[in-house]
Chain A
């Protein structure tokens, strides 16, 4: 949703890149950021390697900022799904524009979010 809003100002952002590694997100250094996110959330054996790739491409401050962003959304998803919150009106409009393309309708929490 947030990326959807960012993409309104940046036509080069491809939202499908958030779901599929086969699609270039169009975000600068997006590939290394996603690889690090996948490794951290997935408890992957390549975590150190993925983190080092961010470090090599963007520097250590970016590694910390990315780790913090990952940690933030590990929290936010649990608040959202732990409370069954519905989409806000503005977010629903943005979501409807691209949810079919992303293939996220199969997520179990959809029935909570849309009531």
Chain B
């Protein structure tokens, strides 16, 4: 493991990784290492370690080993399901998972936030054949166990917050937008995961503002090129959405 300060240098990379991407990856590792609302920093790093174990299992690579903290069995299973068996994630499985010992809907969503962001940073490295960044040392701290007051059942499996129900503490998560697409609101039961999503979404793809407007000049692929790749990756994952 390493500290986050010197992470993601890309000095030796043969590819011109933008500094704004490197900075977003460093912020991701800081988020990862810190205590969240429902998991400690050590547990979150262990979730990340499990993401790498699941990936190694799928790829037939040696087991990189567990993280620093023990995780509930259902959490470990969820990580492996989300990485290696995505087409078979179902409503029934979701309901069973959040009802399992050591889990809840909020703990599942925070876990999902860690899984998808660590996986995304790692996948960027794999696509460029760069070594994976060592996982960070956990930052001490206790989960806040704060559940947003405005969450309600909507159309997704977990409850979510719509813009009109945002409280002051999470008022920033949709950047003031009056409407949030379902994929943007999906993890709003854990607002920091929505913030994390926006940060890495901007670094890797487009900002939410660019989605419905012009893309920034530093983006290289055109919109059709970008979205062709997006559609193919979704199809390869058999994702209907």
Contact = CB atoms under 8 A, between A and B. Distances in A.
Interface of A: 1-3, 5-7, 10, 13, 15, 17-19, 25, 27-30, 33-34, 36-38, 40-43, 47-48, 51, 58-88, 91, 104, 107-110, 112-115
Contact of B119 (A37, A74, A83, A107): A74
B156 A83 contact: yes
Contacts of B128: 51, 63-64, 67
B77 interface: no
Contacts of A1: 231, 241
Contacts of B211: 2
B107 to A, nearest CB: 13
A18 B119 contact: no
Interface string B100-143: 00000000010010011101110110111100000000000000
Nearest to A99: B240
A3 B222 contact: no
Q: Please report whether the interface of chain B is mostly helix, strand, loop or mixed according to DSSP.
A: helix
A106 to B, nearest CB: 8
Given A40-B123, A80-B239, A64 B18 contact: yes
Contacts of B15: 60, 63-64, 67
Interface pairs A-B: 5 shortest CB-CB: A75-B120, A67-B127, A71-B124, A77-B239, A18-B231
B129 A80 contact: no
Given A63-B15, A77-B239, A86 B229 contact: no
Interface stretch (B68-76, B170-178, B195-203): B195-203
Given A60-B15, A77-B86, A88-B182, A3 B224 contact: yes
Contact of B120 (A66, A74, A80): A74
A83 B112 contact: yes
Contact of B236 (A38, A72, A76, A109): A38
A69 B156 contact: no
Q: How large is the interface on B (under 10, 10 to 19, 20 to 34, 35 or more residues)?
A: 35 or more
Contacts of B127: 36, 40, 47, 51, 66-67, 70-71
Contacts of B59: 43
29 contacts: A3-B224, A7-B224, A27-B224, A34-B229, A37-B236, A38-B236, A47-B127, A61-B220, A63-B128, A64-B18, A67-B128, A70-B233, A72-B200, A78-B119, A78-B237, A79-B116, A79-B186, A79-B197, A81-B89, A82-B82, A82-B89, A82-B112, A83-B157, A85-B241, A107-B240, A109-B87, A109-B89, A110-B240, A112-B90
